[in-house]
């Protein structure tokens, strides 16, 4: 679907999905979260799709997150077979509320921790639950539909400093 339009670039694929969702009336936007490093955890950033749905009479909206390559967020080459089986139960694309995503992350990170301990392998900080949850629960910025996540983000918005997050392969615009 969107991959033909994006030539394999993950940011481009997200933008194509956002454009299709907007075309059918959803309030969808690319979203970038960013967090600073601590002594126990490296800093980082993550791109996903944010959709606002069902405004209440008070004006509150529910948030849905879309992660297009959900299974790969949890892949480990040296995991035990039980862990691989658990990962294979995940959908390739996650669409759901942040609280549901946090529950899934909790279960998978605990399972990953157990499998690495079983094999006597050190658990890298990027495999720990707090790090993985930061991808979707850190301060984030909803970008406009035509704004590329690879551009410079303005400082002060969602606590993000001026910094380029990555490059997008769509140079034909």
What confidence tens digit (pLDDT) does each residue in 26-82 have?
Answer: 999 998 888 888 888 888 888 999 998 887 677 777 889 999 999 988 988 888 889
Spell out a b/e string for 21-55, using b for 16 or more CB atoms within 10 Å of the CB, else e: beeeeeebbbbbbbbeeeeeeeebbbbbbbbeeee
Report the 3 state secondary structure along 4-43.
HHHCCCHHHHHHHHHHHHHHCCCEEEEEEEEECCCCCCCC
Contact indicator for 14, 3 with CB cutoff of 8 Å: no
């Amino acid at each position: 679907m969107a991959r033909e339009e994006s030539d394999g670039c993950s940011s481009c694929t997200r933008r194509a999905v956002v454009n299709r969702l907007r075309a059918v009336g959803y309030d969808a936007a690319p979203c970038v979260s960013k967090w600073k490093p601590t002594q126990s955890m490296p800093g980082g950033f993550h791109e996903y799709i944010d959709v606002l749905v069902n405004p209440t009479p008070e004006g509150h909206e529910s948030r849905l997150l879309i992660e297009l390559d959900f299974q790969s967020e949890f892949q480990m080459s040296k995991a035990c077979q039980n862990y691989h089986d658990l990962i294979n139960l995940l959908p390739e694309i996650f669409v759901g509320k942040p609280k549901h995503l946090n529950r899934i992350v909790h279960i998978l990170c605990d399972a990953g921790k157990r499998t690495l301990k079983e094999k006597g392998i050190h658990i890298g900080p990027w495999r720990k639950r707090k790090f993985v949850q930061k991808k979707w629960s850190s301060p984030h910025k909803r970008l406009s539909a035509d704004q590329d996540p690879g551009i410079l983000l303005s400082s002060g918005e969602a606590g993000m400093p001026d910094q380029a997050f990555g490059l997008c392969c769509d140079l034909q615009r």
